[in-house]
């Protein structure tokens, strides 16, 4: 038999706690104010507590690519938009844009051929090209940072860890934070909405090394700020501090 404990007492899922903290920020002005103070004190960021957008498991590059046009149908307009985006990405990474016509992994198999989203490039094809920078671009299109908080001109990506460490990628000299930074650069390059914004990439762990800790998060919440269930759940984070 398992121990006779409530699930709230054994849950270890990072997404659960991120979702509840996002709920806390959106539902409580006091929590937003304390979080803004935390960001000011630790990163010198000026956030507006009255102006927060919060997104969970953010796949922004994937979604903006999808927004270019119907992924199931070919159109000259959509193709031109995709080609322009892909050329900008390659040039930004110091890669000659002409390689688009040199490798099959850029293209779907059907007729007329369509350009794949970088997230769908084949690993085998990328490896055969010898251009491992392309693998980093693929990761950026597939990655889902835990939280994105937008306030005024500031965008904050937060990668949350409870027990695990920052993820490393086999055969590459980058990790999850490196991928987040690439996502930030590509969003500023490709999306007009983000062009003038500043990005911060923050690691949230139990010890707060090289970032912030779950204790910092708990310190932004007081008993009367949020509903009882959310407070009880987030209080369980003390197990990991």
Q: What is the pLDDT of residue 172?
A: 66
User: Which pair of tokens denotes residue 169?
Assistant: 């990628």
Residue 160: its H or E element: strand 154-160
pLDDT in tens, 192-234: 999 999 999 999 998 888 899 999 999 999 988 999 999 999 9
User: Which pair of tokens denotes residue 36?
Assistant: 């803004």
CB count within 10 Å of CB 106 equals: 23
Q: How wide is the angle at C-alpha 156 spanned by C-alphas 159 and 235, nearest 5°? A: 55
For residues 27 and 111, give the distance between their C-alpha atoms in angstroms, rounded to a whole number.
50
Give yes or no for a contact between 24 and 225, defined as CB atoms under 8 angstroms apart.
yes
* Dihedral angle of Cα 228, 229, 233, 238, to the nearest 10 degrees: 20
The answer for residues whose C-beta is within 8 angstroms of residue 176's C-beta and 6 or more apart is: 143, 159, 166, 167
CA distances (Å), origin 105, targets 97, 124, 126, 135, 237: 14, 9, 7, 12, 44
Q: Which of 220, 233, 234, 241 is nearest to 28 (CA)?
A: 220
Q: What is the pLDDT of residue 22?
A: 98
Mean per-residue pLDDT pooled into runs of 10, the chain (241 residues):
94 95 97 98 96 97 96 92 97 94 91 93 90 92 96 97 73 81 97 97 90 95 93 92 76
Q: What is the pLDDT of residue 109?
A: 87
Q: What is the model's pTM?
A: 0.92
For residues 146 and 59, give the distance between their C-alpha atoms in angstroms, rounded to a whole number.
10
For residues 214 and 18, give the distance between their C-alpha atoms in angstroms, rounded to a whole number.
11
């Amino acid at each position: 038999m398992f121990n006779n404990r409530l699930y709230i007492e054994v849950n270890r899922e990072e997404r659960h706690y991120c979702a509840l903290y996002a709920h806390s920020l959106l539902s409580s002005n006091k929590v937003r104010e304390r979080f803004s103070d935390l960001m000011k004190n630790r990163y010198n960021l000026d956030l507006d507590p009255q102006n927060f957008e919060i997104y969970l498991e953010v796949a922004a590059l994937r979604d903006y690519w999808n927004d270019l046009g119907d992924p199931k149908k070919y159109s000259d307009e959509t193709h031109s938009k995709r080609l322009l985006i892909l050329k900008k990405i390659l040039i930004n990474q110091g890669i000659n844009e002409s390689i688009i016509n040199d490798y099959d992994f850029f293209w779907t198999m059907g007729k007329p051929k369509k350009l794949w989203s970088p997230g769908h490039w084949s690993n085998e094809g990328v490896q055969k090209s010898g251009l491992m920078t392309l693998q980093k671009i693929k990761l950026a299109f597939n990655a889902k940072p835990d939280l994105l908080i937008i306030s005024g001109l500031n965008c904050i990506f937060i990668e949350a860890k409870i027990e695990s460490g920052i993820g490393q990628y086999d055969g590459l000299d980058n990790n999850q934070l490196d991928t987040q930074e690439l996502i930030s650069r590509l969003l500023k390059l490709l999306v007009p909405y983000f062009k003038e914004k500043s990005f911060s990439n923050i690691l949230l762990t139990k010890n707060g090394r090289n970032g912030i800790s779950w204790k910092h998060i708990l310190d932004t919440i007081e008993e009367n700020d949020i509903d009882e269930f959310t407070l009880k759940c987030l209080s369980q984070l003390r197990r990991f501090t």
